[in-house]
């Protein structure tokens, strides 16, 4: 059975991995913006002009999800154990 220390460690690594994926996604979108827009526009039939807003929404929602599901519980458990 998991104890608070194990859960804290788990949430810490989840936060690190999710932020890594977030940064990777943001860099890929920034560096390969034009090819990614062309690909996504072709696949989804969404105009390329609307994709910037959708990418921004995706990144902002993903960051918020990381905060709510990983970072805040991690900080709360760290405070509880201290």
pLDDT in tens, 12-34: 999 999 999 999 999 999 999 99
Q: Does 11 map to a domain?
A: no
Q: Does 59 map to a domain?
A: yes
Q: How many separate domains does the chain show?
A: 1
Q: Does 3 map to a domain?
A: no
Q: Does 12 map to a domain?
A: no
Q: What is the pLDDT of residue 2?
A: 80
Q: Does 2 map to a domain?
A: no
Count of helix runs (H) and strand runs (E) in the chain: 4, 0
Q: Does 10 map to a domain?
A: no
Structural domain including 54 reads 19-81
CB of 77 within 8 A of CB of 13?
no
Q: What is the pLDDT of residue 44?
A: 95
Q: Does 9 map to a domain?
A: no
What pTM, to 2 d.p., does this model score?
0.88
Q: Does 33 map to a domain?
A: yes
Q: What is the pLDDT of residue 82?
A: 81
């Amino acid at each position: 059975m998991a104890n608070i220390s194990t859960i804290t460690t788990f949430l810490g690594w989840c936060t690190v991995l999710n932020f890594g994926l977030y940064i990777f996604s943001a860099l890929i979108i920034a560096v390969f913006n034009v090819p990614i827009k062309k690909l996504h526009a072709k696949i989804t039939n969404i105009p390329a002009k609307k994709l910037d807003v959708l990418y921004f929404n995706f990144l902002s929602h993903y960051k918020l999800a990381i905060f709510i599901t990983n970072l805040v519980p991690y900080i709360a458990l760290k405070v509880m154990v201290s």
